[in-house]
A and B are shown apart, each in its own frame.
Chain A
């Protein structure tokens, strides 16, 4: 192993602390049968609160030699469950064919497991650093604070938790085997769920050793494998979550039912913040199957014995709402405010041989998860139960508790599969859970499933912020940039505005321009906007300098070897310098987000009439090291399509304070016919693992618009592309 890597590893493990303390109060670990571990009955105090960390995984080994990994993240289709389990199993040396994976479910269910608990002292969310009580509330608190989002599963839980848990489990199994064989543990080796002592030829399966292993102390700093010796990681075992998704048996939030359950359909004040002024419930109450019309502050719901009947009855109502004083807000007014707050273009030095300026704009965007927002709630006295597919069970539970005037402890949440997340089911976006809870409170104790219509979903999202950037740059006589600066509005942060290029003076200055549109995290958060802005502008600088856009970038990346390697590799994949037919072009863009660098080359064809076709997208990702190769590729592919849909056709516009688009008729997304072939390759580097769910998104819009410029000479500076006439006749 290279020296630098080893010392980094040692530094990390020294800070690690595995939860031997979880033995306090009895009942723990690694698969002995018969003892029930209940977190609610135990409180574990860390030896050092500073080094207190996250509860990462639960590993069970049963006498039949089956290894079960409970993974504390939700599966949105990103392959988190499989990938995280691979990280533990690699260290544990278990036989992948003998592994089962479960998503850590509701509290009292996983409280019955036999678990190996690992506490790790690095990269701990601040609230958890102080947490010393691992009673059930704290478990839940932790569970919630580890929301699945921000591409964190592998780089947080996996890197700092799953590996350590697997390695600790292996050491305990080795110790148990050493006792049984009468040899030293250091002379035993684990592989494929079996421990062997080569000298004597003795061996035993993990299942045979599990009971004894569970009695061993949990090592505080187990040795981790040299990444060069990985045998499971970097391969592509099939994802565990896929088979139920091809035969209809997977249970999503919308599929959950309870006996006697009623259904709710809801109409919400169209201007966000608006309130219900009046509604005559009579027309709905007279309709078949309707149980009740529920009036809420900002909405009216119809509860019926079937969802369809609830919808039909809701449509018979004519509620009126106020507009919260936002009735004059429009996309035009918002962009005008952006423009005003941004002001003049950034000043450039007098010695510039050439000054380049450009403005870019991107619209609001909806998440448009394929499964609309759904929550089922049952309220019974001082208890409530919630069933929903969420990216953050804790926050969703708290939202329900707040709505019901209960403590979080009095609310039980069961997380179900999510039909898409992309940031829509993250903390502080659980308005649908809130609505469902308030409706269920009125209907108590009858359980109610609230199903949002697509219209609810499109018009009441937490939108990707619209944004605008005004760039200026100074080039010297040789076309080298001396300074690049932008003023932007609509949101940004250090990561999203970062430009890797060797330019002496780089500035990005965010301006405030408040508006009442509700915002949220949308796959890649602030990077989709700024990826388009900055990588479009760099492209414009290259053309202004009379240079090839790839070579221009490449020549400014000597100090950023990871970026340089990524653009070099993607240019090679795309055969960048080869000629293309008339009307075709290639565009390149590179962005770092969530610790991962992604470079893309889009190859487009634009007909004389202006029809755009993205033929192929090449992508290179440097996420440090990946876990499941095929899943990693799938995430980059998905990010490209998600970002391409936004670039080509996606937009949410505002008129009279409300969202104009209503459903998939006027809110467009790309289809199979629009989807390019995609090639993805990875670069392995020694950096900490980066995310994969989001980093495929940020470069694609600029890669495509840069390619359109190469093909047509038409520069697209505001999205979506569909509003631009690309015809050359």
Chain B
């Protein structure tokens, strides 16, 4: 069955079962491999993309649900050759280690900051529930604060 998807501003027609998770359509059908597979049950967030600006865990989201909506992946975050300010902060604070979780982490953080530009630590804790196994959390928090309010660490 043909489904029309708009990914990073481009329209694609894909012929897949409608219940196929968006993740696999993005990765294997359309080649947006920046979005990662971590668990398949929406627990780790490695597959996070944005649908109409909302962070969505694409491994557990049927592709049919994204039809007619604007999907943004990590590849679509930069505008022309300019990185998103969150991506820049990720480089400035040398956040990634293996980097595998960071596409999802960045997509979740950008969605959060779009909705709430100056989140408190409690709001960050409640919103950013992506798992990073290398242990970059302290830097993730630092980079979020650098973008949102210039603070360094967690509130005391």
Contact = CB atoms under 8 A, between A and B. Distances in A.
Given A638-B135, A638-B136, A418 B97 contact: no
B32 interface: yes
A533 interface: no
A6 to B, nearest CB: 35
A709 interface: no
Interface in B119-156: 124-126, 128-141, 153-154
A486 interface: no
Contacts of B37: 254, 371-372, 451
A400 to B, nearest CB: 23
B40 A371 contact: no
A479 to B, nearest CB: 36
A671 B103 CA distance: 16
| Chain B interface extent, by class | 35 or more
A370 B101 contact: yes
A456 B136 CA distance: 25
A422 interface: yes
Nearest to A253: B100
B125 A672 contact: yes
B2 interface: no
Interface centre among B90, B128, B129, B134 (most CB of A within 10 A): B134
Given A288-B17, A638-B134, A671-B129, A246 B87 contact: yes
A247 B83 contact: yes
A249 interface: yes
B100 to A, nearest CB: 3
Interface in A226-243: 236, 238-239, 241-243
Interface stretch (A54-62, A510-518, A639-647, A683-691): A639-647
A363 B130 CA distance: 25
Nearest to A312: B17
Interface string B84-103: 00010011001111111111
Interface string A443-454: 000000001011
Contacts of A238: 91, 94
Contacts of A251: 33
B100 A371 contact: yes
A249 B34 contact: yes
Contact of B138 (A252, A639, A678): A678
Given A254-B36, A417-B99, A675-B138, A370 B94 contact: no
A251 B103 CA distance: 12
Contacts of A136: none
Contacts of A665: 41, 43
Interface string A676-701: 11100000000000000000000000
A11 interface: no
Contact of B124 (A263, A663, A672): A672
Contact of B135 (A252, A418, A641, A673): A641
B133 to A, nearest CB: 5
- In this complex, the member of B40, B91, B138 whose beta carbon has the largest number of chain A beta carbons within 10 angstroms is B138
Interface in A212-268: 236, 238-239, 241-252, 254-255, 257, 263
A369 B94 CA distance: 20
The listed residue with most B CB atoms (<10 A of its CB), out of A254, A670, A672, is A672
Contacts of A368: 133
Most chain B CB within 10 A, of A76, A370, A673, is at A370
Interface of B: 16-17, 20-21, 24, 27-29, 31-41, 43-44, 46, 73-75, 77-78, 83, 87, 90-91, 94-103, 106, 124-126, 128-141, 153-154
10 contacts: A244-B99, A248-B74, A308-B20, A370-B98, A370-B131, A372-B38, A420-B100, A634-B97, A641-B138, A675-B141
Given A79-B97, A308-B21, 7 more contacts: A238-B94, A241-B99, A250-B34, A306-B20, A637-B139, A638-B136, A672-B137
